Amino acid sequence: MNHSILFSILIFAPLLGFFFNGFRFKSKDYKLAGSVAIGAMLLSFISSLLLVFDLIGMDPLQRKISFHLFNWINVGDFNANASFVLDPISAIMILVITGVGTLIHLFSVGYMSHDERPTKYFAYLNFFIFNMLLLVLGDNLLVMFVGWEGVGLCSYLLIGFWFDDAEKAAAGMKAFITNRIGDAGFLLGIFFLFMNFGTVEFSELISRMPESPEALWSSPIHLACLFLFIGAMGKSAQIPLYVWLPDAMAGPTPVSALIHAATMVTAGVYMIVRLNGVFIMAPNVMMLIATIGALTAVFAASIGLTQWDIKKVLAYSTVSQLGYMFLGVGVGAFMPAMFHLMTHAFFKALMFLGSGSVIHAMDGEQDMRKMGGLRKIMPITSFTFTLGWLAIIGMPPFAGFFSKDEILWQSLTSTQGHWVLWVLGVIGAVLTAFYMTRLMSLVFWGDSRVPKETHPHESPISMTIPLMVLGALSVVGGWIGIPHVISAVLPGHPPNVLHHWLETSLVAVPLKHFPVVMEWAIMGISVGLAGVSAWLAYDFYISHKDRPAKIAAKCSRPYQLIYNKYWVDEFYFSKIINPLIDISKGFWEYVDVCIIDNITYKLSDFVQSMSRGFKKLQNGQLQQYGFYVFIGLVVILSYVIVGS
Amino acid sequence: MLLSLITFLPVVFALMIWFSGSNEKALKQMAIAFTLIEFALSLLLFRYYDPSVATLQLVEQHTWVSQMGVSYFMGLDGISFWLVILTTFLTPITLLGSWTAVKSKTKGFLVCMLLLETSMIGTFLAMDAILFYVFFEVSLIPMYFLVGIWGGANRLYATMKFFIYTMFGSVFMLLAIIFMMFMAQSQLGFMSASLLDFYKLEIPFVAETFFSTQTLLFFAFSLAFAIKVPTFPFHTWLPDAHVQAPTPGSVILAGVMLKMGTYGFLRFVIPMFPQATEHWAWVLLALAVVGIIYGALVAMVQTDMKKLVAYSSVSHMGYVLLGLFALNTLGITGAIYQMLNHGISTGALFLLVGMVYERTHTREISNYGGLAGYAPIFSILFVIVTMSSIAVPMTNGFIGEFLILQGTFLAKKEFVFFAVTGVVLAAAYMLWMVKRVFFGKMGKVVQEFKDKNESLDINAREFAVMLPLIIMIFWMGLFPGTILKWSDTSVKHLVNNISKYELVIHKNSEANKSLYSKNDKLNIKEKIN
C-alpha cells in the first residue's frame, strides 16, 4: 500500500480514537470505548508492521520512508514542518509503541471495567499513543518536541486520572512541572543547535556536524547536548529530576506499564540515539550522561530494596533500568541502549501489568506485606511474572540478559567507557536481582498473608493474554541481539539481527580489544553475582524471614535513609520549593504593595499638593486672569520674534 | 473608506443603541448583531489588503489641523492587520459572554463597549501621531466607566490608579510627539505629525549619554507604552484593575488594550529611534525578563483566580516585549503572534473565571476544589485554555513563545537563559491553580451547589462563547502559516530596514478607495438597519 496512506493510518488512527471517545467522555460503556481504542491501536500496529516490512525490503543504506504532512512553522530562516521519517531507529520504537500499546489497551478493558470514567481513560490512552508516535517519527526537533510535551500532557492527565484524590492530582502536577524543567532544557538545546547549524531537521543537522569531536565544555555542541540531556533527564527520570516517576504510580496501573515503563520514559534515550551523530561530537557530555546513568542505576535500585508498595518497587526499578540505558548511550553503546530499551519495554510492561493483575485481584491493595503465596491463586500472572523476573535480573537466555550484558560489556570496553562505570553497573545488577527476588518472594511465593476479607482470583482472559504475549517476548526478545561470542558457540551461529539493522543509522564507537575469555568472564561475573544476590534475597524473605527486620534494626540509620528515599523530596521542598513560594509572597506583599504602590502614592500626593498651589491661582478675580493672559502673550510673542 | 468605516461604525451603532428603547434583551441582541456585522466588515480586509507588499495600504488622509501638519491619516499594514481583526473578533465574544454578567445600566454598558471598540481600532489604524494619541487616550474613557460603574467593590480606587498610571505615561508621549512635530518642521520644512514623516527624521543620537535627543524620545515613548503593556515595575495598576473590572472589561483590557502598548513599541519606538533602540534594548529586555519571572512568581502565590490570571498577563506580556527587542524576524514575528495568543487565551481565561464567578460569586481559589467532577465541560475547556496559556505545543501559545525565545536567543542569548524559567513557572502557577480548583475533594462552594442540586457547568450560550476561542487556539497552533502570511512581509521589511525604516503608501490606495462606491456603503447601511 501507499506509504502516505499507511503513515496516515499509523499516526491518525489513535487520534481518531481519541476524538471518538473524547467527544462522548461521559459514557460509561467501557466495552465500546475499549473496542474503539483497541481497534485504533490495531490499525496503527498493522500499518506499522507493513511499513517496517517495506523498510526491511529496502537497500540497507537507504532505509528511510518520509512523509510530509504540511508546512508548519516557516518564519525567516526557521523551518520546521509537520514531516515524519521512518528509519531503522524509529522502526523499533513504533513497533514497541503500537505493539506493546495494543496489549496494554487490551489489558485495560478488564482493568478499568469497574471505573466511572472508562471512556475518558481510553481517549487519553489513544491520545498518548498519537503523541508518542509524533515524538518518535518527527523528522525534526520541533515535531519531536510536540510529541515530547504531548506525552507529558497525557502523562499528567493519566497520573491524575482519579483526580478526586488530591494526592493523585498532585502527583500529576509534579510530573508535569518536573518535566517542564527538562523541557526548558530541551528548548535551550534546540536554540543552540539552530543558532549554530541553522536547521532543526535531523538529517540536515547531522550532515552539518564538524569532522571531529569538540574538546571544550564551552563549545556550542557541548552546550546544546548538555541542555538536550537535561530534557532527557526530565522525561526519562534521571538524577536529579527522577522524583516525579515514583509518584506517577498514582495513575492506573496499565498507564504505569505503558507510559511510565515501556514508552514515554524511554523518550530521552531515544532522543539521544536519534541525535547520536550530534552527541558523539560532545565527548564530555557523553561522559556525564554515562556517569549520571550509572549513578541513577545504583541509586534507584538501592531505594527499591526497601519499598513495600509493589508499584513503587517497579517504579524505582524503572528509574534504575533507564539509568542502564543512559549508561549505554553515554559510552557510545547506542545499539545496546536501544536493545535494552526494547527488552525493558517487554519485561517491565509485563511486570507492571502483572502487578496490575495482582492489585486488581487484591481489590486495590498495593502493600506487599499483605500479599504472599499468590502463586497458587494466580498461576498465569505468577508464571508470566516469573519470566519477567528472570529477564530483569539478567538470567540467560532471557531477554534482559543479552541487552544488559551488552551495555555492561561496552561500558568497560568502549573507548568512552571506564571500569568504574562497569563496577557501578554490576552493583546495580546485584541490587536489581535482590529487590526483584524480594518482590517475587513477598508477592507470589511463601505463605499467604492476604487479609481474610479479600478474595484474590486470577484475572480474566483479556488481562492474561497480554501477560502471556509479553511473557513470551521477555523470553525470546533478546535473541535478535545475540552477541558474537555466544553465537559462535551456538549451533547455526544465529546472526546479531539488531546490530545489522541499526548499523547504518548509528555512529560506531570503537571498542578496545579484549580476549574472548575476558568477555566470557565479564559475563560470568555479572550473571554469577546476580544469581548469588537473588539466592540471598530468597533466603532472606522465604527461609529466614526475621533477618531483614534484624538487619534493618541493626543498621537503622542507613536503612531509614534508604527507606525514606534519601530524603530527596523533602530536600527539594524545604530548600527549593518552599523558599520560592516565600520569596514570591515577599515580592507580592513587599515589592508590589509596599514599594511600588507606595512610590506611586507619594507621587500622586506630590502632584496633588502641587495642584493645591495651582488652585490658588484660580481665585476668580478677572484682573488676575487678565494678567496671566498678558504674561502668556508676552512669552509666545517673544518666542515667535526670537524664533524667526 | 473601508478603514474609517471599520473604525467608526461602532460609534454609529452606539448612537443607535443609545436612542433605542429600553428592552435590555433587545439591546443586547442588537449590540451582538452590530459587533458581528463589524466583525464581518473587518473580514473584508482579507480581501482588500495585499500581504505580498510591505506598504501602508487602504490609506485615507484628510487634513485636520493643517497649520500643525496634523491629519486624519489612517492606514493598514501587516503589523496592525491582526490586531484590528483581534479587536473585532473579541468584541462580540465578550458581549455574548457578558450576557448575564452586567445586570444594571445595560444601555450604557453596551455604548461603552462599542465606543471602546472604535477607540481600539482607531489606535491600531491611526498613522498620524496626534490621531494615535487621541485614540489611545480616548480608549481610557469607556474603560474608566466600565470599571468604575460595573466593577467590584473597590472599583473607584482601581479606576483612579489605572487612569493616573496611563495618563502619567501619556504625558511624556505627548511631549515627545510635539517635539517631533517641531523637528519635522526644521528637518522637512513643514510641520507634520504623520508617522511616515516621523520615520524620515534624523534624530541626533549620542551613545555615551542619556541626554541625547533620540535617547530621551526613546524613553519618553517607552515609558508610555511600558505602563500600558504593563512592564515591570509599572504593572501594579493591572491586577487591581482586573480584579475590580467586570468580566467584559477584563477581557477587553487584557485581550486588546494591553496590546496598544506593545503595538506602540513596534510602530513608534523601534522604527523611529533605531540607534537608541539598539543601544538601550538591554534595558527593555531586562525589564521583560524580570517581568516574565516576577509576574509568574507572584501569580503563583495569588489566592484570587482573577488576580492570578492578571499577574500571568504581566508574565506573558513580558514575552512579547522580549521578542520585540530581539529585533530580528523570529523575535518580532513571535511577539506579534504572542499578542494574538495572549488576547485569545487570557481573554478566554477571564471569560471562564467570569462564568464560574457569576454562579458562585467567589473567585477565592481555596473555596473551590473538585470542580472537574461537578462541571466537566467547564473543566475541559479550562484545561485546554490552560494548555494554551502555558504554551503546550499544538496550541497557539507554543508558536509565539518558541519564536520569541528562539529569536531572542539568536540576538541576546543571555536573556533567554532566564526567560526559559518562565516556561517552568507558568506550568507551576497554572497547574497549581487547576489542581486546587478542579481536582481533589469538593470544595465549600462546589459542595454547596451539589447540595442544592444546582448545575455549575456552563450553558449553551457560554459554550458558544468559548468555541471560537478554542478553535482559534488549535488553528493557530497547527497552521501558523495561515496567520503569519498576512504580517510576514511587513515584519521582514521592518527588520531588514531597521536602521532606516520607511513606510510608503500603497500605490493603488486611491484605487482601493474607489472600490467602495457609495452604493457599497449604502448596502452596508441598509444591512445594519
- The secondary element (H helix, E strand) that includes residue A83 is strand A78-86
- The beta-strand segments (E) located in A452-527 are none
Provide the pLDDT confidence category of residue A643 given band limits of 50, 70 and 90: low
Answer whether residue A178 shows pLDDT above 60: yes
Q: Do B402 and A142 touch (CB under 8 A)?
A: yes
Count of all residues that appear for chain A in the document: 644
User: Under a CB-based contact definition with an 8 Å cutoff, are residues B225 and B169 in contact?
Assistant: yes
User: Under a CB-based contact definition with an 8 Å cutoff, are residues A156 and A172 in contact?
Assistant: yes
In the prediction, which pLDDT does B454 show? 85
Give me the amino acid identity at B85.
I
User: Under a CB-based contact definition with an 8 Å cutoff, are residues B86 and B468 in contact?
Assistant: no
Would B477 be classed as within a structural domain?
yes
Chain B within 8 Å of A194 (Cβ-Cβ)?
Answer: yes
In the prediction, which pLDDT does A154 show? 94
Q: ω before B233 within 30° of 0 (cis)?
A: yes
Share of chain A above pLDDT 70, in %: 99
Answer whether residue A602 shows pLDDT above 70: yes
Q: What are the two backbone dihedrals, phi and then psi, of residue A309, each rounded to the nearest 5 degrees?
A: -80, 125
Q: Do B236 and A592 touch (CB under 8 A)?
A: yes
Domain that holds residue B439: 285-496
Chain B within 8 Å of A187 (Cβ-Cβ)?
Answer: yes
Answer whether residue B521 shows pLDDT above 50: no
Would B338 be classed as within a structural domain?
yes
Q: Do B413 and A72 touch (CB under 8 A)?
A: no
Share of chain A above pLDDT 90, in %: 63
Mean pLDDT for the stretch of residues A323-340: 94
Q: Over chain A, what is the mean pLDDT?
A: 91
Mean pLDDT for the stretch of residues B192-206: 91
Neighboring chain B residues of A19 at a CB cutoff of 8 Å: none
- According to DSSP, residue A504 is labeled G
* Cα angle: B199, vertex B200, B205; to 5 degrees: 85
In the prediction, which pLDDT does A324 show? 95
Q: What is the pLDDT of residues B317-334, one digit of tens each?
A: 999 999 999 999 999 999
In the prediction, which pLDDT does A644 show? 55
* Cα angle: A440, vertex A444, A450; to 5 degrees: 125
d(CA B422, CA A296): 28
Neighboring chain A residues of B333 at a CB cutoff of 8 Å: 75-76
Residues 359 to 378 of A: which have CB under 8 A from any B CB? none
Q: Is the pTM of this model over 0.90?
A: yes
Calculate the alpha carbon distances from A206 to A201, A276, A279 in Å: 9, 9, 10
Answer whether residue A207 shows pLDDT above 80: yes
In the prediction, which pLDDT does A1 show? 61
Least CB–CB distance from B394: residue in A25, A146, A585? A146
Q: Do B373 and A583 touch (CB under 8 A)?
A: no
Does A454 or B317 have the greater pLDDT score?
Answer: B317
Answer whether residue A618 shows pLDDT above 80: no
Would B309 be classed as within a structural domain?
yes
- Secondary structure string (H, E, C) spanning B43-110: HHHHHHCCCCCCCEEEEEEEEEEHHHCEEEEEEECHHHHHHHHHHHHHHHHHHHHCCCCCCCCHHHHH
Q: Which residues of A393-415 are buried (b: 16+ CB within 10 A; e: fewer)?
A: bbbeebbbbbbbbbbbbbbbbbe
Would B160 be classed as within a structural domain?
no
d(CA A212, CA A157): 44
d(CA A540, CA A593): 62
Give the list of residues 6+ apart from residue A638 with CB closer than 8 angstroms, or none. none
Answer whether residue B514 shows pLDDT above 50: no
In the prediction, which pLDDT does B522 show? 47
Q: Do B431 and A156 touch (CB under 8 A)?
A: yes
Nearest to B513 by CA among B43, B60, B157: B60
Provide the phi-psi class of A64: left if phi over 0, else alpha when psi is between -120 and 50, else beta.
Answer: beta
In the prediction, which pLDDT does B508 show? 62
Mean pLDDT for the stretch of residues A5-19: 94
Chain B within 8 Å of A111 (Cβ-Cβ)?
Answer: no
Count of all residues that appear for chain B in the document: 529
Mean pLDDT for the stretch of residues A361-367: 89
Give the list of residues 6+ apart from residue B33 with CB closer than 8 angstroms, or none. none
In the prediction, which pLDDT does B272 show? 93
User: What is the DSSP code string of A283-331?
Assistant: HHHHHHHHHHHHHHHHHHHHHHTT--BHHHHHHHHHHHHHHHHHHHHHT
Q: What is the pLDDT of residues B416-449, one digit of tens each?
A: 999 999 999 999 999 999 999 999 998 888 898 8
Least CB–CB distance from B297: residue in A145, A584, A593? A584
- Name the packing angle between helices A399-413 and A379-392 (round to 10°): 10
> ipTM of the predicted structure?
0.91
d(CA B409, CA B264): 23
Share of chain B above pLDDT 70, in %: 96
Would B481 be classed as within a structural domain?
yes
Neighboring chain B residues of A177 at a CB cutoff of 8 Å: 424, 427-428, 431
Q: Which three cell numbers stand for residue A238?
A: 534521571
Does A612 or B269 have the greater pLDDT score?
Answer: B269
Answer whether residue A8 shows pLDDT above 90: yes
Chain B within 8 Å of A186 (Cβ-Cβ)?
Answer: no
In chain B, count H helices and then E strands: 27, 2
- The beta-strand segments (E) located in A146-218 are none
- Alpha-carbon distance A165 to nearest alpha carbon in chain B (angstroms): 5
Nearest to A3 by CA among A83, A96, A93: A83
Q: Which three cell numbers stand for residue A289?
A: 550522561
Chain B within 8 Å of A69 (Cβ-Cβ)?
Answer: no
Nearest to B346 by CA among B476, B405, B258: B258
Provide the pLDDT confidence category of residue B404 given band limits of 50, 70 and 90: very high
pLDDT-wise least confident of A517-526, B80-89, B469-478: A517-526
Answer whether residue A536 shows pLDDT above 70: yes
Q: Do B406 and A191 touch (CB under 8 A)?
A: yes
d(CA A59, CA B423): 44
Nearest to A392 by CA among A329, A350, A335: A350
d(CA A596, CA B42): 40
Least CB–CB distance from B164: residue in A163, A592, A604? A604
Give me the amino acid identity at B142.
P
User: Under a CB-based contact definition with an 8 Å cutoff, are residues A121 and A115 in contact?
Assistant: yes
In the prediction, which pLDDT does A528 show? 94
d(CA B234, CA B170): 13
Q: Over chain B, what is the mean pLDDT?
A: 90
Neighboring chain A residues of B287 at a CB cutoff of 8 Å: none
Mean pLDDT for the stretch of residues B450-473: 92
Give me the amino acid identity at B18.
W
Q: Which residues of A611-638 are buried (b: 16+ CB within 10 A; e: fewer)?
A: eeeeeeeeeeeeeeeeeeeeeeeeeeee
Q: What is the pLDDT of residues B64-117, one digit of tens each?
A: 888 888 999 999 999 999 999 999 999 999 999 988 888 888 899 999 999 999
User: Under a CB-based contact definition with an 8 Å cutoff, are residues B416 and B405 in contact?
Assistant: yes
In the prediction, which pLDDT does B529 show? 44
Q: Where does B325-370 have alpha helices with state H?
A: 329-360
Cβ atoms within 10 Å of B23's Cβ, excluding its own: 11
Q: Do B399 and A588 touch (CB under 8 A)?
A: no
Chain B within 8 Å of A76 (Cβ-Cβ)?
Answer: yes
Q: What is the dihedral of CA A319, A321, A326, A332, to 10 degrees?
A: 180
Q: Where does A112-140 have alpha helices with state H?
A: 118-137
d(CA B476, CA A148): 19
Q: Where does B98-236 have alpha helices with state H?
A: 106-125, 129-138, 140-150, 155-188, 195-200, 213-228
N-term to C-term CA, chain B:
20
Answer whether residue B520 shows pLDDT above 60: no
User: Under a CB-based contact definition with an 8 Å cutoff, are residues A251 and A356 in contact?
Assistant: no
d(CA A471, CA B85): 59
Structural domains counted in chain B: 1
